[in-house]
Structure 1
Amino acid sequence: MTSPFALPAALNPPMIGREAVVDALYRCVMAFDTNDTALFNSSFMPDGVFEVNRRAMEGLPKIHATGLALIFSVDTTHLMSNVRVHMRTGTRKDGVAQENEASLTATGLSQHFAGGKGMEPGQNNLLGGSLYRGELTRDMDGLWKFRHLQIKSTWVQGDYSVVGGPLNETEQ
C-alpha cells in the first residue's frame, strides 16, 4: 500500500553521492512508519538480508512475512541521526570508475504502540534506541538499496508486549 505521507522512491531531481545512499535508510524507515510496502521494497535488494538483534530474514518474501508483518502491525515512529556513509568505487564494464557500493551506520530512536492505539491516551508503548549498519549497492534503477541491514537494539523502555515480547539476541 502506498501512503499519502511517502514521496516517490525516485525523487526529482535525482540525488547523488552520500545523500542518495542515506535516502535508502530514510525510505526504509518511512516505509515502517507508513506501512508502505512499495517504498520499503525500493530500499532493499530482492535477495537482501534484514537482521534485527541477530535474527536474520533473507529475501523480500521472508522479510515481508516476518519483519514487515510485525512492524506494520504496530503504530511506529522512527527517527534517524548520526548517519555516516563510506563510499566505495568500482569499475563499470566500460572502464569508468563509479561509486556503486557503500556502507552506512546510524543511530535510531523508535516508538511503538499497538496498532491503531497510538493516538489513544494512556496506551502502553515501547521506546527503543538502536544502532544501524548497512551494506548497500546502487541498483540498475539508479536507487541505492540495502544488501544487508543490521539493527541492534541498545536499550528499550516500556512494554515489550506492544511488539509481541522481548526482541533480544538469544531468541530464535
Structure 2
Amino acid sequence: MASPFSLPAALNPPITGREGVADAIYRCALAWDTNDTALFDSSFMPDGVFEVNDHTMNGLPEIHATGLALIFKLDTTHLVTNVRVHMGEDNEASLTATVLMQHFVKGKGMEPSQKSLMSGSLYYAELANDTDGLWKFKHLKIKSIWVEGDYGVIGDNFSEVGW
C-alpha cells in the first residue's frame, strides 16, 4: 500500500552512482516505517537474501511472509546514518550503515507511557543495478548491537522466529 509519506521508487531526475546505491537503504527503511510493500520490493532483488541476526530469509516471498509480516504489524521509525558505499564492477556495489530503530505496538506509539523496543544495528549489503535502473539488495545483513525496552512489543512469536 502506498503511503502519502513515500515518494516513487524511481525519482526524477534519476539518481545514479553512490547516491543511487544509498537510495536502496533509504527506500527499504521508509517502506518499513510506512508499511509500503511496493517501495520495499523496489529495494530488493526478487531472489534477494535478508539476514537479521543470523536468521536468513531467501527471496521476496519468504521475506514478505516472515520479515515484513513482523515489521508491518508495528509502528516503527528507522533512522539511517553513517552510510558508506563502495562501487564495484559490473553494476555491483556494497554498502554499510548504522541504523537506530524504534518499535511500538501498532497504533500505540502516540499514547503516553507505552512500551517500546529500541535497537541499534549495523547493516552490510551487496547490491546490483537492476534492469529498471534501481539499485537493489542482493543480500542485506543486519546485526543488532544493542536493544533497550520490551521484546513483548514485537509479540509472542518473536522468540519463535529466533531473532
TM-score of the pair, normalised by structure 1: 0.91
Structure 1 residue matching 2:93: 3-state secondary structure: strand
1:82-97 alignment to 2 at 5 Å? 82-90=82-90
Max radius of gyration: which structure? 1
1:116 aligns with 2:122: no
Match of 1:93 in 2: none
1:83 counterpart letter in structure 2: V
Distance 2:113 2:157 in 1: 21
Q: Cα offset for 1:163?
A: 1.1
Give a deviation string over 1:66-98, Cα, whole Å, max 9, x none: 0000000000000011100000122xxxxxxxx
1:69-88 alignment to 2 at 5 Å? 69-88=69-88
Match of 1:62 in 2: 62
Q: Cα offset for 1:103?
A: 0.4
Match of 2:162 in 1: 171
The structure-2 alpha-carbon separation of the partners of 1:165 and 1:81, relative to structure 1 and needing over 3 Å to count, comes to: farther
Structure 1 residue matching 2:88: 3-state secondary structure: strand
1:23 counterpart letter in structure 2: D
Distance 1:155 1:166 in 2: 20
Equivalenced residue count is: 162
1:128 aligns with 2:116: no
Structure 2 residue matching 1:69: 3-state secondary structure: helix
- Identity fraction in percent: 69
**Which stretches of structure 1, 4 residues or longer, exceed 6 Å deviation after superposition?**
none
Indicate the RMSD between aligned Cα atoms, in angstroms.
1.6
2:54 counterpart letter in structure 1: R
Structure 1: state its 5+ residue gaps.
Answer: 91-99
Structure 2: state its 5+ residue gaps.
Answer: none
